[in-house]
Amino acid sequence: MGRKEKLTLDSRPENISSVERFVEEICDYYNINDTYFGNILIALTEAFNNALIHGNNSDASRKIQIIFESKPKGLSFTVSDEGTGYNPDEVPDPLDLDIDFNSQTSRGLFLIRSLSDKVEFNKEGSSVEMFFRISGIGHEAMKKRIGHFNEYFQTKKQKV
């Protein structure tokens, strides 16, 4: 059985530093390179921020839980909040130029999906599991991720 760890935090913005330390310790343990560490860190901090703001409505009495588990082919991080949940398929696509939204809408979910190898939501929509392969990131996966970012930033330039 793989390594498993849990981090439970109050819904406070300053707790993002605890998330960063948690990810850094895990990535150091598994000798994850800096680029892939960055992918994991951004995805996890975006998931934490989504749980904080959208899930728990910035209510400091509510908890955010992060569960890490090493699996045979990679690392799994599950971020859960105490909110009512949502349907991730209803979140607008930030690349759709026909949708009028502010710059923060759906950005976090876009980054999570772009940087993770696999993303799953529980049926209630209050928990997201992000999976990262550590057997070596494939060249095609890397090119796809770079393409997502280029497309995203080109879309933002067109809107301005």
DSSP state of 89: G
**How, if at all, do strands 74-80 and 127-133 pair?**
antiparallel
What is residue 33's three-state secondary structure? coil
- pLDDT over 70 (residue 119): yes
CATH of the domain at 32: 3.30.565.10
Least confident of 19-28, 64-73, 118-127, 135-144: 135-144
Structural domain of residue 84, as residue ranges? 4-159
Distances (CA, A) of 60 to 45, 104, 108: 17, 22, 21
Residues 25-75: pLDDT tens digits?
999 998 898 889 999 999 999 999 999 999 999 999 999 999 999 998 899
Return the higher-pLDDT residue of 130 and 89: 130
pLDDT at 133: 92
Percent of the chain with pLDDT over 70: 82
Across the strands, what pairs with 75?
Answer: 70, 132
Residue carrying structure tokens 């090119």: 143
Across the strands, what pairs with 8?
Answer: 65
Category of 20 on φ-ψ map: left (φ > 0), alpha (ψ -120 to 50) or beta: alpha
How far apart are alpha carbons 156 and 151 in whole angstroms?
9
- pLDDT over 60 (residue 138): no
pLDDT at 137: 53
How many domains are there within the chain? 1
pLDDT at 96: 64
- pLDDT over 60 (residue 129): yes
